Amino acid sequence: MKRRLVGLAVLLGLALAAEGQQLYSQNCAGCHGANAQGIPGAFPPLAGNPRMQDEAYVIKVIREGISGPLEVGGQTYNGVMPAMPQVSEADAKAIAGYLKGLGAAAAEPAPAPTASAPAAPTDPALADKGRALFLGQQPFKNGGAPCMACHTAGNFGPMGGGSLGKDLTDLHTRLGAAGIQGVLSNIAFPVMRESYKGKPLTPEEITALTAFFAQTAGKPGNTATMDAARMLFAGLLGLLVLFGVMYLYWNNRRLGLAERIRRRST
């Protein structure tokens, strides 16, 4: 009886750990990597991270998010992890258990993207496809909204891109290819998460967008002052033309009978 109970408990523990791993890959692996190795400079590693031993802390971070400077393994991270209230307390606990189990077995960190160097050369055709997807000229296969609805990246001409979300020009510099792919394959940011619920991006689309971001990263962003000046100039010109046309009509407008009589009588 006792052995049976112990066996059950062991099985339960294994089941929990397995569940924790599955939940991790669903909710966390996008940014922190399949093996919790993280992306240096963008997303801190979780394997071999001493903070993972504090289960309550991990649950809190998962459910409520975290932001601000953070030092892990001698490297400082300064990003934003969104709150994920959609992960239930129990699931968060399972994930925390899984992460605790990883212990100090640090995974091999992925090579850090060289922040200052220009992005690795990418296939221009792929980057063009990514740009088309970003602008919405080519729709996402699963019907997600084009990125430009909220974001801008690089130089899109006078009107620019969306200004609701973050300017993504230097996204590749900040996250690197692996980071972008992680973020896009498992979208965690609250607004984006709701927008793309049930409309995930396909791996090909993600690759194309990554290539596009790699292209924009090296180049200067939009030239806002120049664009504003151009708009102002065009607007003033249009205004002058409008006033000119109005003046022509105003002079030739038909007078009312009352006014005509008044003019005749004086």
Partner 1 sequence: MNVRAHVSMTFHLDKCIGCHTCSVACKNLWTDRKGTEYMWWNNVETRPGTGYPTGWEDQERFKGGWEKKNGRLELKLHSRARGLANLFFNPALPEIDDYYEPFTFDYQHLFNAPESDDQPVARPISMITGEPMNIAAGPNWDDDLGGSNLYAQNDPNWAGVSPEIQAQMAEIERVAFNYLPRICNHCLNPACVAACPSGAIYKRAEDGVVLVNENKCKGWRMCVAACPYKKVYYNWATGKSEKCILCFPRLETGQAPACFHSCVGRIRYLGVILYDADQIATAAHADTKDLVQAQLNAILDPFDPTVIAAAKENGLGDDWIQAAQASPVYKFVKVWKLALPLHPEYRTMAMLFYIPPLSPIVSSIEEGLVRLELPPEKIDFELFNHLEKARLPLEYLANLFAAGNVEVVKPILRKLLAVRIYKRRQSVEGHMDEATLRLVEAAGTTPEEIEAIYQLTAKPTLAERFVVPPYHREMAVEVWNDPLAHKGETGVGFIELPVRGD
x/- mask, partner 1, residues 60-79, rule CB under 8 A, reads --------------------
Going from the C-alpha of 118 to that of each of 137, 168, 176, 263, the distances in angstroms are 27, 16, 11, 77
Q: Are 92 and 63 in contact (CB under 8 A)?
A: yes
x/- mask, partner 1, residues 226-265, rule CB under 8 A, reads ------------------------------xxxx-xx-xx
Nearest distance, CB of residue 231 and partner 1, angstroms: 26
Judged by beta carbon, residue 225 or residue 266, the one nearer partner 1 is 266
Nearest distance, CB of residue 237 and partner 1, angstroms: 24
Which residue blocks in the chain are alpha helix, DSSP H?
A: 2-27, 29-32, 55-64, 89-102, 124-135, 171-185, 190-195, 203-217, 224-252, 257-265
Residue with tokens 């407008």: 253
Residue with tokens 């007078």: 255
Residue count, binding to partner 1 (CB under 8 A): 8
Tokens found for residue 173: 């510099």
Residue with tokens 């990554």: 210
Nearest distance, CB of residue 260 and partner 1, angstroms: 8
Judged by beta carbon, residue 198 or residue 256, the one nearer partner 1 is 256
Judged by beta carbon, residue 11 or residue 261, the one nearer partner 1 is 261
Nearest distance, CB of residue 253 and partner 1, angstroms: 9
Q: Which residues bind partner 1 (CB under 8 A)?
A: 256-259, 261-262, 264-265
